Structure 1
């Protein structure tokens, strides 16, 4: 009796269809929110991604924590920006790369498209996300890296990438359109540090940062005086603070201009080295750039949609 029941159970089991066990999502750790967003857009439900640096975090000064090290050593793949953005972590990534797949995605950009800087010999401005046309190359680098890790999903990654690149094209066109509404004489963008060079080159703005391309550079009194002179002489009326940089130097500019009877206001807070809050529209790459473009254009005299490109911004203008 027992043997007959066993044989019946075995026969039923063999008759059931065999279901292939689904492969678990690829575990990815990314340094910045911008890279993590690209991974989500390209990888879809086939990736699980963690960003080390959240809103308001300065990547130039960031050092890996103990929990970061644990997460990266357990991940299938670690993606970092490169171009000296994560300056304090470069030695760590060199060591980690001996045991894990570690890729600096922005290093894949053609050097001819990168912006050199006098303050840093043989290094480039890392803030490539400020121009959607340039950020496309990072998205493609993410696609290629994920496809190398999981070749069987390469077709899905390619389709997701094409959809996201189309969205970036639309973002670029929106940016070009609204920023063209800023009167030419007012296309001067003054910020806490020199993070908007690619933005300026793409959309025809003169960009003046108090600090250099790294927030680790010093903002001396001479630089403050030079910029106050510029604000007064060129009648610049708006300057911008950054979500990941102290506003102390910007306030010094405003006070310096006020002492010379020239009124300057804060035109808004820009997302320079980090995106907005997770789960918010501004916490995506598209939302971050939409926010920056809409704030800059509106503050400098252009007509802008009240809530940005698709009406998704959390605050109106």
Structure 2
């Protein structure tokens, strides 16, 4: 099957014709909604951008269609998360590099010493790097510099947009820090569908527990549910959370397991983890997503 997919990839590549730049703008293809939002903020009206993934899409499980491959081929640059977050696209990224296609992995901006290790994930690092606002600031500067290199004619605009967005992120960090500081340390226990929030936990002193592993390709078993149910009972956790891009059935099973022990735990709400909210909503932006998540987490755990 894998050989067939690779063969189809090459058939698609060589049957496509590279389109000329439209309106003189840099043609950019992005993967996750977080990356798309970031590049839009930096590129502004100087780029044409196509984001592959939409609201509710799980990047761990996302597979490239023939249309996606065509978009990659016709792009001037591809921007993606890296660290195997888009695990099923890795072969496609490699083929693009072999075609001398410009690719930018956001994770390349970060010092590996600052990454959270994981023996259970292919890259050995947790790929959910956007949940550290500090990481996102570093990545913003990195992508700004890369776009300036690729499109020197519009470098001044990219630098200005990047600088303005860094100010937005600094303001976001101030707001989030104040909200989190209203929650006592002993109540900062975040139980979610999968291990997406470790960088958030590290930055804001939360004990983060996920039913599934770092990748949603792993399934939570009965032992996982029972183990975390005991943890919730012992720590007197008030609320647990579902995620917009992960089926909620395992979290509901956890709630039932806690109830079977004579305790009650609320489902505090839906958090955005591997994808932003629907287009047009406040949560369709990185800043809006972060504010939404923290508001729900803090209010539910209080």
Q: TM-score, normalised by structure 1?
A: 0.86
SS at 1:97's partner residue? helix
| Structure 1 runs (4+) greater than 4 angstroms displaced | none
Cα deviation for residue 161 of structure 1 reads 0.6
The answer to whether structure 1 residue 72 and structure 2 residue 67 are counterparts is no
**What is the CA RMSD across the aligned residues, in angstroms?**
1.3
Q: 2-side partners of 1:23 and 1:142: how far apart?
A: 22
Which residue of structure 2 lines up, in the alignment, with residue 10 of structure 1? none
Q: Verify the 8 A CA contact 2:238 2:300 in the aligned structure 1.
A: no
2:242 aligns with 241
In structure 1, C-alpha distance between the alignment counterparts of 2:293 and 2:56, rounded to whole Å:
15
Aligned 1:112-151 pairs, distance under 5 A: 112-120=113-121, 123-151=124-152
Aligned to 1:182: 183
Larger radius of gyration: 1
- Distance between the aligned counterparts of 1:262 and 1:183, measured in 2? 22
Q: Deviations over 1:95-117 (max 9, x none)?
A: 01122212212222111111101
Alignment of 1:1-317 (within 5 A): 24-99=24-99, 100-120=101-121, 123-301=124-302
SS of match in other structure, 1:224:
helix
Q: How many residues align?
A: 280
Contact 2:243/2:273 (CA < 8 Å) preserved in 1?
yes
Q: Please identify which structure carries the higher helix content.
A: 2
Q: CA deviation at 1:88?
A: 0.7
Q: More deviation in 144-153 or 114-123?
A: 114-123
CA distance in 1, matches of 2:70, 2:123: 32
In structure 2, list runs of 5 or more residues that go unmatched. Answer: 1-21
Give the conservation status (yes or no) of the 8 Å contact 1:84–1:123: no
Structure 1 residues 234-278: Cα deviation after superposition (integer angstroms, max 9, x where no partner) = 111200000000111100110001111101111010000000011
Q: In structure 2, what is the Cα distance between the partners aligned to 1:32 and 1:120?
A: 19
CA distance in 1, matches of 2:282, 2:208: 26
Aligned partners of 1:23, 1:247: CA distance in 2, in Å? 44
Structure 2 CA distance, aligned partners of 1:119 and 1:74? 35
Distance 2:55 2:123 in 1: 30
- In 1, Cα distance between the equivalents of 2:129 and 2:36? 15
Note if contact 1:147-1:153 (Cα within 8 Å) is conserved in structure 2: yes
Following the alignment from structure 1 to structure 2, what is the Cα–Cα distance between the partners of residues 122 and 74? 28
How far apart, CA to CA, are the structure 2 residues paired with 1:289 and 1:234?
26
Please give the per-residue CA displacement for 1:20-69, whole angstroms capped at 9, x wherever unaligned: xx952211100011111111111111011111110110000101011111
Q: Please report how far the alpha carbon of residue 145 of structure 1 lies from its aligned counterpart in structure 2 after TM superposition.
A: 1.7
